[in-house]
Amino acid sequence: MTKADIVNEISKQTGIEKIAVQRTVEAFMETVKGNLVKGKNVYLRGFGSFIVKKRAEKTARNISKNTTIIIPEHFIPSFKPSKSFVVKVKSNVKN
């Protein structure tokens, strides 16, 4: 499902114009990204959490050149679904 599909689905379910839904969805995404950039986590009860994870410094190898490099400590965005969300997905997704 793409962002356009989400906008269409919300517009169909609520009767709100697609352009207004699109602005709202984009504003939501910018708010989440902005808070993660600031190091703040975003918690949506019943859905999940957008969190910032810290990755420790590590040594990696470039096997084609047979050299090692140090990857510095850094932060990455992550999503952790709520327990109720996980249960719904596990019980409804067909393999």
What are the sequence ranges of the domains in the chain?
3-92
pLDDT in tens, 39-61: 999 999 999 999 999 999 999 99
C-alpha span between 89 and 73 (Å, rounded) = 33
**Confidence (pTM):** 0.78
Query: Strand pairing of 58-62 and 74-81?
Result: unpaired
Structure confidence by residue, pLDDT tens digits, 57-83: 999 998 899 899 999 999 999 999 999
Helix (H) or strand (E) holding 53, with range, is: strand 48-55
- Under 8 Å between Cβ of 45 and 74: no
User: In CATH, what class is 3-92?
Assistant: few secondary structures
